[in-house]
Amino acid sequence: MRRAALRKRGLVTRTLSGLLRQAVRKCRSMDARAVRRMNWLILAIIVAGSLRLNLLVQAVSYGRANSVRTAETALSLFLSEADYPALLLFARFRDQALAQWLPHACLTYRGKKIVIVDPTPYPKRSRRGKKERQMEYIGRVKVPLKKKQGRPQETTCPGYLDIWAGLLLKGRQVLPLARKLCSSAHPRFVSQNLLEEAVIWQALAAVSWNAILVADRGFRRKALLIKLLLRLVDFVIRLADNIHVLYQEEWRNILETARQVEPIGRVVWKEGKKRPLPCWAVAFRAQLREEGDDPAEPNPEVNLVVLFPISSSQEPLILATSLPVDRLWQVKAVVKIYEYRWAIETTFENMKRDLHLDEFMVREWVAIERLLWAGAMAYTLLVVLRLQAHEESRRFLEEVLRLLREQAVMGQDLTVGKLREAIALDYTHHPAQWLAALQEAT
């Protein structure tokens, strides 16, 4: 019986090479050798499912290196010393993916795309005291622990924080738009808030500012909300319950105020993987106040939505938004948009499980950044392959399904992670064909 295989390997390599070729053409600062290495690196990340250099060079042969150690050293030098703009290269790669392959795949609300922003931690050992073995500028990050008495607990450990912004696509896929590595130990670190805002502006510029920004409580700063309002950017951002509001000429806690406003109706709220919660919804317009506010600074009103669970001890959901909330259907739409935020959490989970995005072991800051950008491009390529709509892509996905079913690893849906697994499985049996297809495409 003939083994199932991916006959359309050229589709993968041509898509990768085409996206990268267009990106390089607009960068104009990479030689042909660097372009070939970047093609190899992105394919190796998909095949290896890792960002660790030793696993990359073991999974896919690297140039003319005659040993894993030699290849790992060569790849490390390429990441740390090669002359190419990694951020600009990713931006052009992403723009080509959006313009050429994914214009049909974006989810929108009233004609506006949905951009989600959130940070993710990478816990890392600092290796302090070990000469020339520690990573550069390792700071402190918060990581979750197991819940105690129903409440999530956090602790701090050495590591990096990576701030990501992504575009919501069909199937609740998230396409990376922008990211920034953050560490308080970096000599040029100014403020995490400023880095978060930089990522937001880059992501919004990538979609021509025609978007709705969605974020969790980590982005609840009043200063950010005011900047979004002044720039006419729509947003749905969750607030904490310790904020005070000016409503009917009286400053009070936001929950105290919400309890005195008549509910607009019932709304069902679903947070991530939790069960749906029927809630009473309250909507009103008010000014926000934080400790240390300057009275001279502008303080425009924002629309506020508060959901009180009817039969649950879960804390209320508080949302600030620039979208209208005068009617019940508008409130339901705002809550639905916020629920999409969980898609970026799922994306982080997938990237760390399928690409092991957090397991990099390079030491220099510039190499870490470039490796993470390569990981973002690998994930972008997988999303493009999964969501392409033409006939050749449909046949390729049928081959993927047959291969996965033969290996008994097919779940209910063909996810980006399953697609990566199919490519890796096929590569283990046909490495020469894959390398030939990559060489032909480049």
Q: Is the pLDDT of residue 426 over 90?
A: yes
Q: Is the pLDDT of residue 7 over 90?
A: no
Q: Inform me whether the pLDDT recorded for 410 exceeds 50.
A: yes
Could you report the per-residue pLDDT of 43-74, keeping only the tens digit for each?
999 999 999 999 999 988 877 667 888 889 89
Cβ atoms of residues 177 and 153 within 8 Å: no
- State the average pLDDT over residues 326-343: 96
- Average the pLDDT over each of 63-77, 272-286, 419-433 and give the range with the smallest value: 63-77
The pair of structure tokens assigned to 175 is 């396409």
pLDDT at 132: 65
The answer to whether the CB of 182 falls within 8 A of the CB of 162 is: yes
Of residues 385, 391, 393, 389, the one with CA closest to residue 420:
385
Least confident of 156-160, 321-325, 335-339, 390-394: 390-394
Mean pLDDT of 424-441: 92
Is residue 378 within 8 Å of 46, Cβ to Cβ? yes
> What's the pTM value of the predicted model, to 2 decimals?
0.93
| Of 143-152, 206-215, 354-363, highest mean pLDDT | 206-215
Per-residue model confidence (pLDDT) at position 18:
93
Instruction: Record the tokens describing residue 214, joined without a space.
Output: 């969605």
What pLDDT was estimated at residue 355? 94
What mean pLDDT, rounded, does the chain reach? 89
**Closest C-alpha among 119, 106, 109, 118 to residue 207:** 106
- Output phi, psi for 225, to 5 deg: -60, -40
Task: Measure the CA–CA gap between 424 and 337, rounded to whole angstroms.
Answer: 35
Q: Residue 105: which residues within 8 A CB-CB, separation 6 or more?
A: 169, 170, 173, 387
Strand 250-253 to strand 139-144: parallel, antiparallel, or no bridges (unpaired)?
unpaired
Q: In 3D, which of 24, 82, 62 has the Cα closest to residue 370?
A: 82
Q: Count of residues for the chain?
A: 442
With cut-offs at 50, 70 and 90, classify the pLDDT of residue 1: very low
pLDDT at 409 over 80: no
Residue 128: pLDDT band (50, 70, 90) is: low
Q: Where are the beta strands (DSSP E) in 172-260?
A: 174-182, 211-215, 234-238, 244-247, 250-253
Q: Which helix (H) or strand (E) holds 87?
A: helix 86-96
Phi, psi of 284 (to 5 degrees): -155, 175
Report d(CA 266, CA 98) in Å as an integer. 37
Across residues 254-271, what is the average pLDDT?
93
Residues 332-361, mean pLDDT to the nearest whole number: 94
pLDDT at 242: 87
Residue 11 has pLDDT above 60, yes or no: yes
**Tens of pLDDT, residues 182-226:** 999 999 998 999 999 999 999 999 999 999 999 999 999 988 999
Is beta strand 234-238 parallel, antiparallel or unpaired with respect to 211-215?
parallel
The helix/strand/coil state of 129 is coil
Q: Which residue has the higher pLDDT, 111 or 272?
A: 111
**pLDDT for residue 181 is more than 50:** yes
The answer on pLDDT for 412 being more than 90 is no
Phi-psi category of residue 6: left, alpha or beta, with phi > 0 → left and psi -120 to 50 → alpha: beta
Coil/strand/helix, residue 265: strand
pLDDT for the residue 144:
78
- pLDDT reading at 319 higher than 80: yes
Residue type, 57: V
Choose the most confident range, by mean pLDDT, from 25-39, 75-89, 282-296, 397-411.
Answer: 75-89
For 230-241, how does the pLDDT look when each residue is reduced to its tens digit (9 = 90+)? 999 999 999 998
